[in-house]
Amino acid sequence: MSDMRLIVAGAGGRMGRALTRAISETEGLVLTGALESPNSELLGKDAGTLAGLSANGVLLSADLWSLSANADGIVDFTVPQATIANVAIAAQRGIAHIIGTTGLSASDNAVIQSVTNRAVVVKSGNMSLGVNLLAAIAKRVAQSLDDSFDIEIVEMHHRAKVDAPSGTALLLGEAVAAGRKIDLATHSARGRDGFTGARKPGDIGFASLRGGTVTGDHTVIFAGASERIELTHKAEDRMIFAHGALTAARWAKGKKPGLYSMADVLGLGDI
Ligand X SMILES: O=C(O)C1=N[C@H](C(=O)O)C[C@H](O)C1
Q: Could you give the residue numbers annotated as active site?
A: 157, 161
Q: Which is nearer to ligand NDP, 40 or 116 (CB)?
A: 40
* Residue 13 annotated in ligand binding: yes
> Can you tell me whether residue 78 is helix, strand or coil?
coil
CA distance 10 to 37: 7
Q: Are 31 and 56 in contact (CB under 8 A)?
A: yes
Tell me the site size for ligand NDP, rule CB under 6 A. Answer: 25
Residue 128 CB-density burial (10 A; 0-12 exposed, 13-18 middle, 19+ buried)? buried
Per the CB < 8 A criterion, the answer to whether 51 and 17 are in contact is yes
Rule CB under 6 A: choose which of 37, 166, 219, 261 binds ligand X.
166
**Window 192 to 211, contacts with ligand X (CB under 6 A):** none
| Contacting ligand NDP within 26-65 (CB under 6 A) | 35-37, 40
> Is 15 in contact with 238 (CB distance < 8 Å)?
yes
Binder to ligand NDP among 48, 125, 165, 173 (CB under 6 A)? Answer: 125
Q: Which residues pair with 235 in a beta bridge?
A: 216
101 binds, among ligand X, ligand NDP, none (CB under 5 to 8 A by kind): ligand NDP
Residues 88-147 touching ligand X, rule: CB under 6 A, are: 102, 125-126
Chosen residue from 167, 179, 205, 244 binding ligand X by CB under 6 A: 167
Rg (CA), the chain: 19
Rounded-to-integer distance, Cα 242 and Cα 238, Å: 6
What residues make contact with ligand X under the rule CB under 6 A?
Answer: 102, 125-126, 157, 161, 166-168, 216, 235
- Specify binding-site residues: 10-15, 100-102, 124-127, 158, 167-168
- Specify binding-site residues for NAD(+): 10-15, 100-102, 124-127
